[in-house]
Chain A
Amino acid sequence: MNGRIPSVTLLSLFLFAVAADSAAPPDSSPVIVIQNATILTVTKGTIEHGSILIKDGKIAEIGASVKAPKDATVIDAEGKFVTPGIIDCHSHIAIEGGVNEGSISVSSIANIAEVLDSDDVDIYRDLAGGVTTANILHGSANSIGGQTIVIKLRWGQPASKLPFEGALPGIKFALGENPKRSNFSIPGQPKRYPATRMGVEETIRGAFTEARDYKSAWDAYNKKVIAGDKAALPPRRDLRLDPLVEVLEGKRYVHSHCYREDEILMLLRVAKEFGFKVRTFQHVLEGYKVADEIAAAGAGASTFSDWWAYKVEAYDAIPYNAALMTRRGVVVSINSDDAEEATHLNQEAAKSIKFGGLTHDEALKLVTINPAIQLGIDKRVGSIEVGKDADLVIYNHDPMSAYAVVQKTLVDGRVLFDRDKDIAGRAVLEKEKKDLLAKEKAAAKKTDEKKPDAKKPDAVKKPDEKKPDEKKPDDKPKPPSDSDANGGAL
């Protein structure tokens, strides 16, 4: 193992650096008490008129009343509901540029962690919808896509502070219509292998066959080194296979985009053949047809609430999917795949009460503790328990209702979204924008006077008009047909 030091060490160094930083944050986090709230703990029932004490970014105490230090900031949540932060198991926010390295069908060399964009306003919008943690995935253009990363929505922090410390990284797989490019072709490019579900299987088998040989070569080399063989030559590094070896070693999660029952079983078969686990099936719209097999394999399922019919493989999608899989013993989450959908995941989860009869608490789990389990971070987040991260959402109504609006969202014990403050600050922002525009106009006028043949000011000023439907197909997966256009995120 020592032989593959470069990637492993670099990764560990990176994680250590982040962990060390969060252990000693530059500004100490405030002590906060949330009082008089209906606390939906998710794992320990509901506490009426309860309080939560937050210290050092963690939940320090929960109860009917807590011993609040004098200097604590008090949030009165009378009549309000507190839940753990929403966890979105399938997101494409905070990514600079495209989400798809759509050239080759094994693109494991690409890594989303390297293109995180902390300035993406969707981070703030999703916070305003109660999301505090998101699984940031590569797109679904390839059978084996790029490497993925779990982030916390630490709005205001640089990209280096977004990764969720200690969360295992992942890799995106994709099955079905997108990797086989059923719904689009790229002009000027020949048809790519794979073009069938048969080919998708063989692409994955081929890659893991290589990865297994590659791993054997390294294992043999490491054995020689340990035995003191100083003449041993290391195998040639292969950046494409390194992440797949991590999958074989259980150090990287597989999150696989899929729709149809047959392709779900296909991947389970391949995983068994090579001895790795599928951590989550993503979308998995026909998961309800093979729920027992998914449960038996110990894989999670992360699905949509009620999307259907945007392509053939989504024609058998049913809104009962989450409930039916839950009843058959699968750990299920509801995800967004879309910056807008993420802003009301609580509502999307509530639909499983109507479609399939989940209880209120079971439905809430679909967007809290269940995705936390799927991402291996349930010791840190996903429920309101002493010692867990203070990632919390305060709603004005029961979040399993379309009438609930997020009032505050806390990440690591800091209020990163506050509806009252947001509203109060709008006038200031508007004035600032007006002033900047006026300044810009004045400057343009000056330039214009100096250069009589310069472009007209309005030719300079309006470069970015967008047509209502003109969405870059690589970054806005809704309406679904958009992203299908390039085998996009969906």
Chain B
Amino acid sequence: MLRNATFAVLSLLLLVCLAPTASAQAQQPATTYAITHAKITTLVGLTIDDGTLVIKDGKIAAVGASVEVPAGAQIIDGKGLQVYPGLFDAVTQMGLSEISAVSSTVDSSETGNFNPDVIAATAVSPSSEHIPVTRASGITEVLAVPASGGFDSGGSRSVVGGQASAFSLAGWTMDDMQIKRSVAMVINWPTIQTRTFDFATFSRKDRPYSEAKQEYEKQVNELTDWIDRARHYAQAIGHGGPSDFERDVKLEALAPVVRGQLPVLVFADRARDIRNAVEFCDKQKLKMILAGGEEAYQVKELLRSKNVPVILRPMLSLPREEDDPYDVLLSQPAQLYEAGVKFAIGSFDNSFARRLGQNAANAVAHGLPYEQALKAVTIYPAQIFGLGDQVGTIETGKIANVIVTNGDPLELTTDVKYLFIRGQLTSTDNRHKRLYEKYSNRPKP
């Protein structure tokens, strides 16, 4: 007894002594990794059949067929495995919404029609269970986009929804994870709708076209007014000290937009709405990125000539019209590619984010060249949002968001074997795996 007690006390003391060392170790994991003998798809130049990738201090330090493994590097044997840049999901509500039916877990949409000053990064919960689930499917960075969900917000969508933020899917805090706090200003393009669902009476409401058009015009006029005022405000900032004008945080948030420094991410699906939005942004000299774009193929020449890139919503969606070809959305990426329109693919969701690769593969099945599909979920979204020098390919100096797989990352049956996020070997463990393992071990009742 006594011996046991003494032993316990000693062990406790030992633990206390060791504890600081242990926690210091936990805070300082390996910083240098080398993945050797892997097939490396860099998405710049040729694929390396038997290459080495060196990751150091969070960045890609070297890549090639004859790269030296640095001393002290943790070596990952990549024989039989493939290395790709991690996937980039260009529109999500990641971290902004946990359980969509429970409003207390949802922060994706503000009330009111004009919220240029709200920023997604502020509300992203780094502890969201969606983050580990999503990264296990090979997605290493996302855009959290405010006001991009429909029903989370009770059916209402702000015209100016706020600023989207780009971040990597691992880290202790949002400060760690953040790639860029503000990458685009969300605009939900007003649309002429004669039929709406009224949540107050829980019924559908029809109204005459003229009335719907009037409301559309009112919203576009309001938007024009906001942009005009922001332009004047930006001029005022440029010409005087802070005491010379009354501060307005909303107009201040729009200033980079009217200066052309911050692109507008305009949500529109119908051809007519897309045309109107492009015309508006052209006239207002706004840098436009189209999001949604279900009928983008109908205005592909316009999009190409005005250099408007598109973030397509999942192609695994039903056609909008009853008489549309059944595969119109599946074959659209191939059409846009042939027309020279630059596009990326987004999940526009959280819990379905892991279908990103599946959607890209389905676009390939309907005519899009494979490499284009892969780029549409890696380097193209990065370039579209001005992050092309930070993520999206395997190039020296970029953030080491890298996946090591046993096959094509877009295919349904491929596993992510190793996951590097911000240069850290990151576990693919997640809520789903844990529950699976727990209940796989349930004894027979």
- Using a CB-CB cutoff of 8 Å, which residues 80-116 of chain B contact chain A? 98-102
Shortest Cβ distance from A356 into B: residue: B436
**Contacts of A480 on B, CB cut-off 8 Å?**
100-101
Contact A340 B354 (CB under 8 A): no
Q: Within the assembled complex, what's the spacing in Å between the Cα atoms of A318 and B436? A: 7
What bracket does the count of chain A residues touching chain B fall in?
35 or more
Residue with the highest number of chain A CB atoms closer than 10 Å, among B155, B267, B349, B365: B365
B192 within 8 A of A: yes
Q: For chains A and B in complex, what number of residue pairs have CB atoms within 8 angstroms? A: 178
- B-contacting residues, A235-278, CB 8 Å: none
B435 within 8 A of partner (CB): yes
| Interface contact B157-A125, CB-CB below 8 Å | no
Taking the complex as formed, is A299 at the interface, i.e. its CB lies under 8 A from any CB of chain B? no
Contact A309 B100 (CB under 8 A): yes
Q: Establish whether residues B354 and A324, one from each chain, have CB atoms under 8 Å apart when the complex forms.
A: no
Cross-chain contact of A473 among B197, B209, B270 (Cβ < 8 A): B197
Contact with B along A311-343 (1 / 0, CB 8 A): 110111011100010010000000000011001
Of the listed stretches B160-168, B174-182, B356-364, chain A binds B356-364
Q: A467-B196, A472-B197 are in contact. Are A459 and B209 (CB under 8 A)?
A: yes
- Asked if A466 and B193 sit within 8 Å, CB to CB, the answer is yes
Q: Is the CB of B195 within 8 A of A289?
A: no
B141 CB within 8 Å of chain A: no
Q: A306's contact among B269, B355, B440, B442, by CB below 8 Å, is which? A: B355
Contact B361 A403 (CB under 8 A): yes
CA distance A172 to B366 in the complex (A): 37
In the complex, which range does the number of interface residues on chain B fall in?
35 or more
Chain B residues with Cβ below 8 Å from A306 are 352, 354-355
Looking at the assembled complex, report how far the CB atom of B274 sits from the nearest CB atom of chain A, in whole angstroms. 12
Q: How far is the CB of A95 from chain B (nearest CB, A)?
A: 15
Q: Tell me whether B224 is interfacial, beta carbon within 8 Å.
A: no
Report whether A309 and B129 are in contact in the complex, using a CB–CB cutoff of 8 Å.
yes
In the bound assembly, the distance between CA atoms of A268 and B267 in angstroms comes to: 47
* B365 pairs with A470, CB closer than 8 A: no
Question: Are the C-beta atoms of A403 and B202 separated by less than 8 Å?
Answer: no
- In the complex, the answer to whether B351 meets A340 with C-beta atoms within 8 Å is no
Q: Is the CB of A470 within 8 A of B99?
A: no
The CA-CA distance from A367 to B189 in the complex, in Å, is: 40
Instruction: Kindly supply a per-residue 1/0 record for chain B positions 191-213, scoring 1 wherever the CB is within 8 Å of any chain A CB and 0 otherwise.
Output: 11111110011101010111010
Chain B residues with CB below 8 A from A351, complex form? 412-413
Query: Complex Cα distance A429/B99, Å?
Result: 43
The one of B99, B157, B355, B445 that contacts A292, using a Cβ cutoff of 8 Å: B445
Selected interface stretch from A71-79, A162-170, A482-490: A482-490
For B193, the chain A residues whose CB sits under 8 A away are 465-467, 470
From B31-39, B59-67, B322-330, the one touching the partner chain is B322-330
Cα(A292)–Cα(B196), bound, Å: 46
Select B444's contact among A292, A316, A456, A469, beta carbons within 8 Å. A292
> Is residue B130 within 8 Å, beta carbon to beta carbon, of the partner chain?
yes
The answer, yes or no, to whether B410 is at the interface (CB within 8 Å) is yes
B140 interfacial contact with A, CB 8 Å: no
| Complex partner residue of B102 from A288, A311, A353, CB under 8 angstroms | A311
| Cross-chain contact B366 with A405 (CB below 8 angstroms) | yes
Chain B nearest CB from A266 CB (Å) reads: 16
Give, as a whole number of angstroms, the nearest-CB distance from B301 to chain A. Answer: 18
Question: Provided the pairs A400-B412, A472-B197 are in contact, do residues A308 and B351 lie with their beta carbons within 8 angstroms?
Answer: yes
What per-residue 1/0 map shows which CB atoms of A444-461 lie under 8 Å from chain B? 000000000000101100
Nearest Cβ distance between residue B188 and chain A, in whole angstroms? 9
B208 touches A310 (CB 8 A): no
Residues in A whose Cβ lies below 8 Å from that of B445: 292-293
Complex CA gap A1/B358 in Å reads 53
Q: Does B21 contact A (CB under 8 A)?
A: no
Judge whether B150 and A468 touch: CB under 8 Å: yes
Q: Is the CB of A426 within 8 A of B365?
A: no
Whether the Cβ atoms of A482 and B151 lie closer than 8 Å is yes
A350 at the A/B interface (Cβ < 8 Å)?
yes
CB of A455, distance to nearest CB on chain B (Å)? 9
Complex-state Cα separation, A312 to B366, whole angstroms: 36
A464 on the B face (CB < 8 A): yes
CB closest residue in chain B, given A354: B413
Q: B439 at the A/B interface (Cβ < 8 Å)? A: yes
Q: C-beta contact mask, A153-189 vs B, less than 8 Å → 1, else 0?
A: 0000000000000000000000001000011001110
B333-381 CB contacts (< 8 Å) to partner A: 349-352, 354-355, 357-358, 361-362, 364-366
Q: Which of B200, B204, B351, B412 has the most A CB atoms < 10 Å from its CB? A: B412
- A121 interface residue, CB < 8 Å from B? yes
B200 touches A187 (CB 8 A): yes
Q: B128: nearest residue on chain A (CB-CB)?
A: A309
Interface check B414, CB cutoff 8 A: yes
B202 and A186 contacting across the interface, CB-CB below 8 Å: yes
**Other-chain contact of B365, A316, A354, A355, A405 (Cβ < 8 Å):** A405
Complex CA–CA separation, A469 to B352 (angstroms): 17
The chain A residue sitting closest to B197, CB to CB, is A470
- The residue in chain A whose Cβ has the minimal distance to the Cβ of B189 is A468
Option from B130, B191, B196 in Cβ contact (under 8 Å) with A309: B130
Q: How far is the CB of A316 from chain B (nearest CB, A)?
A: 6
Complex Cα gap A433–B210 (Å) = 25
Query: Could you tell me which residues of chain A, from 86 to 112, have a CB within 8 Å of some CB in chain B?
Result: none
B318 touches A320 (CB 8 A): no
The reply on A17 being an interface residue by CB < 8 A is no
B222 at the interface (CB under 8 A from A): no
Closest to A459 in B: B209
Closest to A296 in B: B445
Decide: A465 near B413, CB < 8 A? Known: A402-B365, A479-B100, A481-B101.
no
User: Which residues, 381 to 428 on B, are CB-close (under 8 Å) to A?
Assistant: 410-415
| A-chain residues with CB within 8 Å of residue B351 when the two chains form the complex | 307-310
Give the chain B neighbours of A471 by CB distance below 8 A.
Answer: 197
Residues from chain A with Cβ under 8 Å of B157 in the complex: 469
Which residues 123-141 of A sit at the B interface, judged by CB distance below 8 A?
Answer: 124-125, 128
Q: Which residues on A sit within 8 Å (CB–CB) of B326?
A: 124-125, 128, 343, 422
Residues of A within 8 A of B221 (CB): none
Closest to B101 in A: A311
Residue of B whose beta carbon sits closest to that of A310: B100
Closest B-chain residue to A461, C-beta based?
Answer: B209
Instruction: Report B-chain residues with C-beta under 8 Å of the C-beta of A318.
Output: 431-432, 435-436
Interface membership of B146, Cβ < 8 A: no
> Given contacts A356-B436, A429-B323, A469-B157, is CB(A340)–CB(B99) below 8 Å?
no
Provide the residues of chain B in CB contact with A314, threshold 8 Å: 99
Q: Which chain B residues have a beta carbon within 8 Å of chain A's beta carbons?
A: 98-102, 129-130, 133, 150-152, 155, 157, 191-197, 200-202, 204, 206, 208-210, 212, 267, 269-270, 292, 294, 316-319, 322-323, 325-327, 349-352, 354-355, 357-358, 361-362, 364-366, 410-415, 431-432, 435-436, 439-440, 442, 444-445
Known: A125-B318, A320-B435. 12 other contacts (CB 8 A): A122-B318, A293-B445, A309-B351, A311-B100, A350-B413, A354-B415, A356-B436, A404-B365, A423-B325, A465-B193, A468-B294, A481-B100
Q: Which 3 A-B pairs have the closest CB atoms?
A: A469-B150, A402-B361, A311-B101
